[in-house]
Amino acid sequence: MNLHPHLRHGLLASALLLASGLVAAAEPRLLAKELQQARTYTVSSAPTEPLHMDPPTLPDLSGYTAQAVQSKIDRSHPGKVTVRRMFQEDSLKEFVGGDNKAAEWVQRQHGIPQAIFIDDGHVDLAQLSRQVPRQYLNEVQPGVYLARLPIVVGRKGTLEINSKVRQLRLSEEGGAFLVNDGKLFVTDTQVTGWRERSNGPATFRSPKAFRPFLLSWGGTETYIVNTTMASLGYAKSKSYGVSISQYTPNLARRMGRPEPTGWIIGSQFSDMWYGFYCYETRDFVVKDNTYRDNIVYGIDPHDRSHGLIIAGNTVHGTRKKHGIIVSREVNDSWIINNKSFDNKLSGVVIDRNSINNLVAYNEIYRNHTDGITLYESGDNLIWGNKLVNNRRHGIRVRNSVNIRLYENVAMANGLVGVYGHIKDLSDTDRDIALDPFDTKVSLIVVGGQLVANGSGPLSIDSPLSVELYKVAMLAPRKASGITLSGVLGQRQDEILDLLVRQQKAVLIDPVERQAEMID
């Protein structure tokens, strides 16, 4: 990680500057709004005991191994293999249902759409290729298989794609894809979207152009281990690349299937529309993978997924948006020990009422906007992350309360080390009923370092409350020294006297809130 050249000024001199009280006052030209905010906030010392927290307990990852996946495969019952029409299959209604969706496959198959189905038992891909006509699935080179039809794992079926297969190529021209409605094991192999015309990967061309994909539905288990996947997915529902999704609400109610689950470990994903997407998924593990140069997102858990573990992954080069994002009520999950860098927008995002998540020990650097971004998502713990050289803020918190920032290092980011603010989203295209929000922000910042950030260490606007304790603010890039902004600016001397000279916890609280507490 290349640090900003202003770090050459040295941390020791800055620490002495703080200790002697020689810090700059707030910028003299404040907006009227800022002046009003400054007049209505008080600064006081706060008890330190409530701020003490032991390091968070992390989930035990030792059991998520390739060997453990092998023990889950039941090969005792040979599966039944058929080629039949795609219509009347619940697992395919998303693709051949109303709105003339079937036209895509009618055109590609030059007739009534068909798929290969695995029902009532286990089959591996090499066996599967021997049980269907060669024009549908063929070994084109030793260990290299080309599928020209969709492959569907039935509810009681198990498909294993293992090291017997050097590469499974899913034909773009044939409209091939993988749908799992049972159990799918992909281990020690490659799965690639394939463009037969050019005899190469189906590299991204445009969002709406079909590319093969993998989808696992409600009630399924999906395991991808030590595998390389590339050139999958496009901008159509459930067709994003690797997707794990409960059925649509109407089908889910009728079918009564549990939330899908599974593991993805030790694998590589590139040139995917989304590297990983899930919807209403439980306890899924995404561990020790590399997501490189994907189109929209690297890792994207979505609506009402919970109990997820996203650990030890490297996510970089995402072309359009964020490296890792959880959005819309993705709760009770862990984002730990990942590296997220050089992504088009933020490194890690917690979005749309996603609560009770731990974001810890991640290295997040050189992203083109923020390091960590929290949008409308309260009650989250951000612990021990390193946020370096991101173009905008180290950590940005919008419309989110009870955000606890402990032991983080935000260094050499383009704007502010920690930025908290509110924003009225009523006039945006946001669906307020689906994604409600309150224009409220509150932060607890304990420990860690805010070092050489371009616009200063801290800026917080209109908070319900802010608590600061043992926060080191070092190596200012402004000649005037450490400068706080937002509601902190006018009370900067008091804040730094308590925080630095007296080594006390600081509470910044609105007068109105204090009056309410007295009443």
Q: In this predicted model, what pLDDT tens digit does every residue of 290-339 receive, in sequence order?
A: 999 999 999 999 999 999 999 999 999 999 999 999 999 999 999 999 99
pLDDT band at 476 (very low <50, low <70, confident <90, very high): confident
Q: Whole-angstrom Cα distance, residue 92 to residue 215?
A: 10
Kindly report the average pLDDT of the chain as a whole number. Answer: 91
- Express each pLDDT in 410-461 by its tens digit: 999 999 999 999 998 988 888 888 888 889 999 999 999 999 999 999 999 9
Contact predicate 242/232, CB 8 Å: yes
Quick one: pLDDT at residue 514?
Answer: 54
- Residue that is written with structure tokens 């694998």 in the block: 267
Q: Is the pLDDT of residue 185 over 90?
A: yes
User: Is 12 buried (19+), middle (13-18) or exposed (0-12) by CB count in 10 A?
Assistant: exposed
Q: In terms of residues, how long is the chain?
A: 519
- Return the H-helix or E-strand segment holding 34: helix 32-39
Tell me what pLDDT residue 40 has.
84
Considering the candidates 4, 122, 302, 393, report the single residue annotated as catalytic: 302
Structure tokens at 264: 């993805």
Q: Which CATH number fits domain 78-250: 2.40.40.20, 3.40.50.300, 2.160.20.10, 1.20.120.450?
A: 2.160.20.10
302 noted as active-site residue: yes
pLDDT of residue 516: 55
pLDDT value of position 519: 52
Distance CA 504, CA 51 (A): 11
Give residue-wise pLDDT tens across range 77-121: 999 999 999 999 999 999 998 888 999 999 999 999 999 999 999
| Domain extents in the chain | 78-250
Segment among 257-271, 372-386, 389-403, 479-493 with least mean pLDDT: 479-493
Reduce the DSSP state of residue 1 to 3 states and report it.
coil
* Distance (Å, whole) CA 163 – CA 6: 51
pLDDT of residue 433: 83
pLDDT at 38 over 80: no
What CA–CA distance (Å, rounded) separates 62 from 55? 20
Q: Which of 14-23, 107-116, 178-187, 324-333 has the lowest mean pLDDT?
A: 14-23
